[in-house]
């Protein structure tokens, strides 16, 4: 029941109306008996969003596109790992001190760890916010990273930051990858026929992961599945980063199967 003791959590983004955050966090609050509610706020600027956290004593927030970088300068403390990545996706309000964390990085790597990353050639398609989290996570696991991106300058900058090689988009088919990770929005609803990696370059031995989770089976994952590859969908990362946020906020480990099932149902 919502009452005077109910604490507020939220997501800041623009757009934010499509966010699955409210569905999973509210289900987890209910499941764990936490008197809290999570709402989606479509905001215009990072400074105003952070001010509202202070004014309303919001206990925690998820941060999504396009504020993951611009929010950082308004917080009181940034976790060193988030500083290295250059992006914050989680705000924790610790008694009025606003702390910034990045749970995307660990979440991106977690589903890949069972397949082994150390020494594997990992091709990361994209060089935006998601790519940075993924690349830092893979670098921490000693993967041999190749970055490819439409805008060469951004791709080269990320490659340099994580000690990786850069290969231009038109040379993607030549990349000898063991693991391919799409971190771009290519293939996302409504452009579901687009694919971020050349289908002819996908080989059955590859592990292929997509961070896009609408649709759950992107054309990249469908193609990889048809070729016999191991595939990992974007919901795995999304649930893992949300579960880590929930734990940072409440100190409670949520039921990730419940979170995944509720997203699939909604
Ligand atoms: P971002 O910072 O805006 O970066 C977008 C990236 O996609 C850039 O590398 C951009 O290339 C590339 N790109 C976009 N449209 C393209 C096109 N038509 N052709 C070629 N490249 C294109 O966005 P982001 O925050 O990284 O998010 C990217 C995707 O990841 C979104 O779909 C987001 O929903 C998803 N995501 C998922 C999770 C999860 O938990 N599963 C977490 C975070 C993000 P340029 O550099 O050339 O512009």
DSSP letters spanning 18-58: T-SHHHHHHHHHHHHT--EEEEEEE-S-HHHHHHHHHHHT-
CA–centroid distance, residue 68 to ligand 1 (Å): 13
Judge if 192 and 259 occupy the same domain: no
76 and 118 in a single domain? The answer is no
* 128 in the same domain as 43: no
Using CA atoms, how far apart are residues 222 and 226, in angstroms rounded to an integer?
6
> What is the greatest pairwise CA distance in the chain?
60
Burial state string for 224-237 with b = 16 or more CB within 10 A and e = fewer than 16? beebebbbbbbbbb
| Residue among 68, 94, 99, 265 flagged as catalytic | 68
Nearest CA to ligand 1 atom 18: 186
Domain encompassing residue 206: 106-232
Classify residue 145 by burial, with Cβ atoms within 10 Å: 0-12, 13-18, 19+.
buried
Stretch (H or E) spanning 132? helix 129-140
In a domain, 153, yes or no: yes
Q: Examine the domain organization and report whether 64 and 85 are in the same domain.
A: yes
- pLDDT tens per residue, range 51-103: 999 999 999 999 998 999 999 999 999 999 999 999 999 999 999 999 999 99
Q: What is the pLDDT of residue 65?
A: 86
CATH of the domain at 130: 3.40.50.720
155 pLDDT higher than 90:
yes
Is the same domain home to 158 and 200?
yes
Matching residue, tokens 């959590």: 9
Q: Is residue 124 part of a domain?
A: yes
- Nearest residue (CA) to ligand 1, atom 37: 211
Q: Is residue 2 part of a domain?
A: no
Angle at 134 between CA 27 and CA 191, to 5 degrees: 70
Pocket test for ligand 1, best of 87, 167, 183 (most atoms within 8 A of CB): 183
Q: What is the pLDDT of residues 215-259, one digit of tens each?
A: 999 999 999 999 999 999 999 999 999 999 999 999 999 999 999
126 and 242 in one domain? Answer: no
Q: Are residues 150 and 193 in the same domain?
A: yes
Residues 24 and 84 placed together within one structural domain of the fold: yes
Residue 1 lies in a domain: no
Ligand 1: centre distance to CA 131 (Å): 8
H-helix or E-strand containing 247?
A: helix 234-250
Alpha-carbon span 9 to 61, nearest angstrom: 6
CATH number at 84 reads: 3.40.50.10860
Cα distance between residue 120 and residue 77, in whole Å: 34
Assess if residue 40 is contained within a domain: yes
Q: Are residues 30 and 50 in the same domain?
A: yes
Residues 167 and 203 in one domain: yes
Q: Does the pLDDT of residue 18 top 90, yes or no? A: no
Nearest CA to ligand 1 atom 7: 184
227 is catalytic: no
Same domain, 166 and 95: no
266 pLDDT tier (thresholds 50, 70, 90) = confident
Question: Does residue 172 lie in a domain region?
Answer: yes
pLDDT at 188: 92
pTM for this prediction:
0.90
Whether residue 115 sits in one domain with residue 215: yes
User: Is 251 inside a domain boundary?
Assistant: yes
Q: What is the average pLDDT value for the chain, to the nearest integer?
A: 95
In angstroms, what is the span from residue 77 Cα to ligand 1's centroid? 26
Cα separations in angstroms, 53 against 2, 35, 120, 245 = 19, 18, 42, 16
Domain count within the chain = 2
Which residues line the pocket of ligand 1, CB cutoff 6 A? 65, 104, 126-131, 149-151, 154, 183-186, 188, 211-213, 234, 237-238, 241
Output the DSSP codes for 185-219: STT-TT-TT--SS-GGG--TT-EEEES--SSSS-H
């Amino acid at each position: 029941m919502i009452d005077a003791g109910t604490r507020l959590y939220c997501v800041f983004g623009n757009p934010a109306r499509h966010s699955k955050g409210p569905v999973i966090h509210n289900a987890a609050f209910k499941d764990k008996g936490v008197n809290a509610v999570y709402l989606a706020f479509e905001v215009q600027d990072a400074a105003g969003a952070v001010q509202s956290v202070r004014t309303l004593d919001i206990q925690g927030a998820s941060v999504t596109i396009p504020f993951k970088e611009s929010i950082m300068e308004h917080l009181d403390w940034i976790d060193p790992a988030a500083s290295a990545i250059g992006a914050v996706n989680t705000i924790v309000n610790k008694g009025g001190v606003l702390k910034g964390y990045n749970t995307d990085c660990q979440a991106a790597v977690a589903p890949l760890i069972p397949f082994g990353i150390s020494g594997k050639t990992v091709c990361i398609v994209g060089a935006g916010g998601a790519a940075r989290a993924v690349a830092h996570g893979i670098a921490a696991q000693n993967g041999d990273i190749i970055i490819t991106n439409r805008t060469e300058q951004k791709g080269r900058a990320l490659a340099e930051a994580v000690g990786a090689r850069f290969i231009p988009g038109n040379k993607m088919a030549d990349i000898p990858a063991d693991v391919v990770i799409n971190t771009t929005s290519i293939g996302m609803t409504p452009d579901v026929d687009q694919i971020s990696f050349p289908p002819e370059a996908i080989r059955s031995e590859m592990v292929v992961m997509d961070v896009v989770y609408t649709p759950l089976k992107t054309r990249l994952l469908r193609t990889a599945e048809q070729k016999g590859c191991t595939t990992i969908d974007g919901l795995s990362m999304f649930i893992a980063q949300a579960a880590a946020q929930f734990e940072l906020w409440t100190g409670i480990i949520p039921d990730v199967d419940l979170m995944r099932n509720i997203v699939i149902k909604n």
